[in-house]
């Protein structure tokens, strides 16, 4: 039997650019997939649990019992002496040895649009510079060019607060996420349509279309793209070819089975939670297991509130209790599942939103936007769990110890996953931009 030559992604792009789509895709794409599977070693990964709208620190990881700002929830002890969390996070509480609540996040943006952009890119909008979202930035450094799956997958992102905060920015389309799920679709927490909401469309050939006919169409596409690229060379043409080649490679790969959640044991699926967020966390584990270096999962709401989630200006405690009821089992099962599979030490998990919420409860029993002093949580790989960082005042209104900025958080993540935060990318205006600003102070006591 004749052995097919191994093909790299660079070979793929060269072939597509010169019209190699004209040869049978069914012949050389499997060779590429086999080459990838032989050399693919799962490296460091990041899972971002994004809390759309801004979760209240006072009702989660920085409770103020005994103070009028403390609210209705009670604190409970965690697996780490001296660290208490909300009573509605009992499963996460048992895994606090893997986690570090950062209780002293301090930013200045209380507007959803600007705060979302700041926390996801590490920067405020600066004229013509189009900063990349966190997933694009880190997947570029941690990913592989020859991966069968995208290096960055975003599950159910709610982008309407700040669309620019979710794209690859000056890194270009090559580093854009594969978006799975529709955050604007109402998914009932006990309904049966969450699987459909997490499906990736168009991964199989259309009904009645066989491989030979698909190859013929790809051949024609290759000829057209080759002609177009010869007349209009540059990044747009290359990005278009690259996107098509990556899509075809994914369609023909066994790795695409990652999106089939029905392969999982029903008991484990139940543990994650039979809802969109719970199953999205399970999908994140399946993707990381197959080498995807950055996955983000958004909790945009529960029941009929699927868009504004943690933006609890009214009825804060009712809404937050429902949200924590979905968050707690999904997050805890994700950590346990990763640990049981020997993957937690190589997977860093970040829990955060765009800001916190006011310690003071408003007349509508709600909490408003509050960037002054709030919480995020870092867990898993590269994080020395079982401690907390920072301290806020007794009323929760200000940081008393170890303020942490967004750039400090980016620098800490760099250290946790083994990246040099001083590495530079050239922006769309020719200005070099580092992974984290030189002024950033990584939280050295928890990272590395």
Domain for residue 33, yes or no? no
Per-residue confidence band for 379, with pLDDT thresholds at 50, 70 and 90: very high
Per-residue pLDDT, 26: 39
Domain for residue 150, yes or no? yes
Domain for residue 21, yes or no? no
Q: Where are the alpha helices (DSSP H) in 232-357?
A: 235-251, 266-272, 276-289, 316-340
Q: How far apart are CA 379 and CA 297, in angstroms?
A: 15
Structural domain count of the chain: 1
Per-residue pLDDT, 147: 86
Per-residue pLDDT, 175: 95
Q: How far apart are CA 22 and CA 30, in angstroms?
A: 16
88 DSSP 8-state letter: T
Which residues, 6 or more positions from 112, have their beta carbon under 8 angstroms from its beta carbon? Answer: 53, 54, 161, 162, 311, 354, 369
189 DSSP 8-state letter: T
- Both tokens of 398, joined, read 């200000």
Q: How far apart are CA 43 and CA 291, in angstroms?
A: 7
Q: How far apart are CA 3 and CA 14, in angstroms?
A: 21
Instruction: Decide if 116 contacts 100 (C-beta within 8 A).
Output: no
The residue among 56, 57, 163, 55 whose CA lies nearest residue 114 is 163
Mean pLDDT of 125-132: 93
Q: Which of 66-70, 210-214, 430-434 has the lowest mean pLDDT?
A: 210-214
Residue 84 has pLDDT above 60, yes or no: yes
Domain for residue 188, yes or no? yes
What is the DSSP code string of 110-165? -SHHHHHHHHHHSS--BTTB-PPPHHHHHHHHH--TT-SS-SEEEES---TT-GGG
Read off the CATH number of the domain in which 404 is found: 3.40.720.10
Domain for residue 22, yes or no? no
End-to-end CA distance of the chain: 49
Total-model pTM? 0.84
Model pLDDT for residues 195-243, shown as the tens digit of each residue: 677 877 656 555 665 556 545 555 666 566 666 656 666 656 565 555 5
Domain for residue 312, yes or no? yes
Q: Which of 5-14, 139-148, 226-235, 290-299 has the lowest mean pLDDT?
A: 5-14
Model pLDDT for residues 399-428, shown as the tens digit of each residue: 999 999 999 999 999 999 999 999 999 999
Domain for residue 176, yes or no? yes
Per-residue pLDDT, 24: 38
Per-residue confidence band for 377, with pLDDT thresholds at 50, 70 and 90: very high
Per-residue pLDDT, 63: 98
Domain for residue 331, yes or no? yes
Domain range holding 85? 44-202+257-434
Residue 131 has pLDDT above 80, yes or no: yes
């Amino acid at each position: 039997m004749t052995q097919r030559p191994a093909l790299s992604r660079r070979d793929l792009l060269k072939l597509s650019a010169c019209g190699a789509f004209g040869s049978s895709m069914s012949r050389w794409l499997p060779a590429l997939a086999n080459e990838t599977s032989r050399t693919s070693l799962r490296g460091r990964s990041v899972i971002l649990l994004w809390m759309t709208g801004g979760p209240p620190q006072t009702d989660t990881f920085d409770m103020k019992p005994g103070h009028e700002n403390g609210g209705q929830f009670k604190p409970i002890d965690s697996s780490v002496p001296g660290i208490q969390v909300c009573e509605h996070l009992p499963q996460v509480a048992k895994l606090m040895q893997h986690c570090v609540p950062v209780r002293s996040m301090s930013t200045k943006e209380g507007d959803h649009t600007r705060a979302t952009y700041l926390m996801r890119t590490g920067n405020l909008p600066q004229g013509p510079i189009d900063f990349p979202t966190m997933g694009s930035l880190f997947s570029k450094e941690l990913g592989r060019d020859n991966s069968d799956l995208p290096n960055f997958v975003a599950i159910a992102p709610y982008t309407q607060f700040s669309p620019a905060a979710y794209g690859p920015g000056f890194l270009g389309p090559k580093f854009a996420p594969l978006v799975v799920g529709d955050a604007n679709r109402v998914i009932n927490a006990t309904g049966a349509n969450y699987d459909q909401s997490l499906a990736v469309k168009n991964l199989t050939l259309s009904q009645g279309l066989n491989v030979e006919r698909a190859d013929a169409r790809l051949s024609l596409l290759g000829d057209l793209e080759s002609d177009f690229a010869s007349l209009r060379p540059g990044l747009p043409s290359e990005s278009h070819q690259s996107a098509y080649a990556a899509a075809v490679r994914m369609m023909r790969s066994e790795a695409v089975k990652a999106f089939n959640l029905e392969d999982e044991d029903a008991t484990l699926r139940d543990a994650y939670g039979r809802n969109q967020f719970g199953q999205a966390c399970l999908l994140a584990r399946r993707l990381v297991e197959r080498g995807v270096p950055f996955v983000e999962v958004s909790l945009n709401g529960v029941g009929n509130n699927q868009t504004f989630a943690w933006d609890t200006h009214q009825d804060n405690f009712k809404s937050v209790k429902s949200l924590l009821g979905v968050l707690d089992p999904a997050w805890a099962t994700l950590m346990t599942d990763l640990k049981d599979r020997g993957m937690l030490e190589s997977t860093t998990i970040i829990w955060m939103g765009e800001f916190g919420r006011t310690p003071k409860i408003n007349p509508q029993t709600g909490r408003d936007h509050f960037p002054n002093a709030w919480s995020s949580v870092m867990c898993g790989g590269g994080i020395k769990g079982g401690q907390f960082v920072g301290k806020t005042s007794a009323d929760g209104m200000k940081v008393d110890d170890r303020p942490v900025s967004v750039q400090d958080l980016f620098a800490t993540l760099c250290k946790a996953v083994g990246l040099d935060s001083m590495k530079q990318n050239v922006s769309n205006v020719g200005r070099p931009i580092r992974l984290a600003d030189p002024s950033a102070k990584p939280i050295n006591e928890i990272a590395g």
